[in-house]
Amino acid sequence: MRIATLGLSHESNTYAPVPASLDRWLAAGPVAGDALVAAFAESDATPGGYLELAADPDIEVVPLMHYRLTPMNAITAEAYEKMVGHMLSELEQQGPWDAVLIDLHGAAVSEDYRDADGETLRRVRSLLGPGVPVGVTFDMHGNVSQKMIDNATVVNTYMTNPHLDPRIRGRQVADLIVQTVRGEISPVMALEMPPVAINILRQGTSDSPMKELVAFAHEQATRPGVLSVSVAEGFPYADVEEMGMAFLAVTDGDPSLAAEIAKVCAAEAWKVRAELEGDGVPIDDALKRAAAATSYPVVLLDVGDNVGGGSPGDSTHVLAAAQRLGIRDLFHSLCDPGAVAACKEAGVGASVELEVGGKTDDLHGSPVSITGTVRLLDDGKFEDPGATHGGFRFYDAGHRAVVETSDGHTVLLNSRPLGNTSRQELISAGIDPLTQPIIVAKGVHSPRGAFEPIAAEMIWTNSPGCTSADLSGLAYQHRRRPMFPFEPDATY
């Protein structure tokens, strides 16, 4: 049995300042062949689950290619055509295939295709024809569409946020696809999309009510004849028709059972829709609370600069407020390649005066003046073998500099946008997260895997930015209407 594995993973924030252009995709380092295996086989990311099939002597897993890029605005038309074209030509040249496994995000938007993942699957299906099983694993933030489902054989999503189970969910799809090829099962799918968007602050799967909704779906998955049940939380920062929650059931040849399960799961979510809304703490209040804490570290989540959701990673709203309030002892990272270059020029031990961050757009604050001492310069590469969001292992922040400021902060300057999802990010830069009083983490749920185990307290701030928790400021043109919470009277 020959199975191709592919990936094209992008979460597109249509409110973000920077487009996902071809040069950025190429700089992020697409991988193919042995490099794909090296990048993922030992990771907890989705392709790690697909590659596990290679342990079966009857199966040849061909690692064709994998593209992945940090969330930003839509994929440019040029980049989309180039990458999908590459994918299709490799599929054609290296085939025939018994099956294909694809790691897609589910919230990709391109300039030409609002449902870019649906379009990718349509093209793959039309190349392969109807007889070749196609398995897909989406991120839990996917905005899942009927077009995606219609062009695949088995689809599931992660069921954890922070995402700690991509490899497990990848393996589930891979196993179901192998069983399909062997003629042991005949998967059918049903998708249900209740008109509800979940606030980013309510998406954690260890918190109510997501915890119970996920448990309910897992319970449904144990019914006879059911192969898989998924809950997609959706990604509210993509202005697309399919934006919102979705429930997906896969059964063995029983379409009415699949439809019933997708519907009962959706109905459970609809019942608790009011609890799926939420608000963060104003920045000043969050900082004062952190400064008054008696046990540390306090982790302050910069929700509006959620790099994993498409923000630029250079928001200065929290740092500027700390300076204004005279609050000390923050660990704060910023993407600012120019400031890193200035630190390199000055050298370790030198005193520097810098204007840092706030340079991408008007949404994420203005540059902040800092004076201090350069304590570290490095290439920004670090590795985290532990459990982190998305299951990634190798990180690259570009060249970095650590500046100890004269007002008591530790500022980590990166050359590439990077959310704070790994304790190794700090440790590799000589910063002990256990003794750091206040850690500002750019993210919402993605930093939880790293910091919740050590945090005395986690505080989600209502910081402005293109991933702000306050969705009322987003001008949607393409979402469904009516939809809860935007139209509170929406019915389902």
Query: Closest approach of Cβ 445 to Zn ion, in Å?
Result: 8
By CB under 5 A, which span of 89-97, 137-145, 194-202, 291-299 interacts with Zn ion? 137-145
- Here's the x/- map for Zn ion, 345-384, by CB under 5 A: it reads as ----------------------------------------
Nearer CB in complex with Zn ion: 162/367: 162
Q: Tokens 């969330």 belong to which residue? A: 71
Nearer CB in complex with Zn ion: 141/393: 141
Nearer CB in complex with Zn ion: 141/400: 141
Query: Closest approach of Cβ 116 to Zn ion, in Å?
Result: 16
Query: Closest approach of Cβ 193 to Zn ion, in Å?
Result: 18
Nearest to 205 by CA among 194, 213, 197, 193: 213
By CB under 5 A, which span of 58-66, 133-141, 166-174, 246-254 interacts with Zn ion? 133-141
Nearer CB in complex with Zn ion: 235/486: 235
Nearer CB in complex with Zn ion: 45/53: 45
Nearer CB in complex with Zn ion: 141/169: 141
Nearer CB in complex with Zn ion: 11/115: 11
Query: Closest approach of Cβ 237 to Zn ion, in Å?
Result: 11
Query: Closest approach of Cβ 230 to Zn ion, in Å?
Result: 13
Nearer CB in complex with Zn ion: 66/141: 141
Question: Measuring CA to CA, how many Å separate 57 from each of 41, 42, 60, 131?
Answer: 17, 19, 8, 23
**Chosen residue from 139, 242, 268, 329 binding Zn ion by CB under 5 A:** 139
Query: Closest approach of Cβ 122 to Zn ion, in Å?
Result: 23
Tell me the three-class secondary structure of the chain, residue by residue. CEEEEEEEECCECCCCCCCECHHHHHHCCCECHHHHHHHHCCCCCHHHHHHHHHHCCCCEEEEEEEEECCCECCECHHHHHHHHHHHHHHHHHHCCCCEEEEEECCCCCECCCCCHHHHHHHHHHHHHCCCCCEEEEECCCCCCCHHHHHCCCEEEECCCCCCCCHHHHHHHHHHHHHHHHCCCCCEEEEEECCCECCCHHHCCCCCCCHHHHHHHHHHHCCCCCEEEEEEECCCCCCCCCCCCCEEEEEEECCHHHHHHHHHHHHHHHHHCHHHHCCCCECHHHHHHHHHHCCCCCEEEECHHHCHHHCCCCCCCHHHHHHHHHCCCCEEEEEECHHHHHHHHHHCCCCEEEEEECCCCCCCCCCCEEEEEEEEEEECCEEECCCCCHHHCCEEECCCEEEEEECCCCEEEEECCCCCCCCHHHHHHCCCCCCCCCEEEECCCCCCHHHHCCCCCEEEEECCCCCCCCCHHHCCCCCCCCCCECCCCCCCC
Nearer CB in complex with Zn ion: 91/466: 466
Query: Closest approach of Cβ 271 to Zn ion, in Å?
Result: 24
By CB under 5 A, which span of 18-26, 131-139, 285-293, 412-420 interacts with Zn ion? 131-139
By CB under 5 A, which span of 134-142, 194-202, 292-300, 465-473 interacts with Zn ion? 134-142
31 is written with which tokens?
Answer: 């991988």
Nearer CB in complex with Zn ion: 139/268: 139
Query: Closest approach of Cβ 330 to Zn ion, in Å?
Result: 26
Query: Closest approach of Cβ 346 to Zn ion, in Å?
Result: 38
By CB under 5 A, which span of 139-147, 182-190, 218-226, 268-276 interacts with Zn ion? 139-147
Q: Which residue is nearest to Zn ion (CB)?
A: 141
Number of residues that bind Zn ion (CB under 5 A): 2
**Residue 117 within binding range of Zn ion, rule CB under 5 A:** no
Nearest to 274 by CA among 492, 482, 485: 485
**Residue 141 within binding range of Zn ion, rule CB under 5 A:** yes
Task: Pick out residues in 204-233 that bind Zn ion (CB under 5 A).
Answer: none
Query: Closest approach of Cβ 422 to Zn ion, in Å?
Result: 16
Identity at 91, one-letter amino acid code: L
Query: Closest approach of Cβ 463 to Zn ion, in Å?
Result: 19
By CB under 5 A, which span of 79-87, 135-143, 345-353, 434-442 interacts with Zn ion? 135-143
Q: Which residues contact Zn ion by CB under 5 A?
A: 139, 141
